[in-house]
Amino acid sequence: MKSISKKSLSYEDCLKMAGAAILKAQELKIEIAITFVDESGVLKAFIRMDHSPLVSVDASRKKALTAVGLGISTGDNWYSFIKEDPILFHGVQQFKDFILLGGGSPVFDQGAIIGAIGISGGHYKQDEECINAAIKALD
Q: Is the pTM of this model over 0.85?
A: yes
CB 61, CB 97: distance < 8 Å: yes
Mean pLDDT, rounded, for 71-77: 89
Which of the four pLDDT bands, split at 50, 70 and 90, describes residue 61? Answer: very high
Strand residues in 6-111 grouped as ranges (E): 33-38, 43-48, 104-109
Which of the four pLDDT bands, split at 50, 70 and 90, describes residue 29? Answer: very high
Mean pLDDT, rounded, for 80-89: 82
Averaged pLDDT of the chain: 94
Say what percent of the chain tops pLDDT 90. Answer: 78
Mean pLDDT, rounded, for 62-90: 87
Return the H-helix or E-strand segment holding 106: strand 104-109
Bridge-based pairing of strands 33-38 and 112-120 is antiparallel
Residues 88-122: pLDDT tens digits? 878 877 888 889 899 999 999 999 999 999 999 99
Residue 17 pLDDT: 98
In the chain, the domains with their CATH numbers are 11-136 (3.30.450.150)
Residue 63 pLDDT: 97
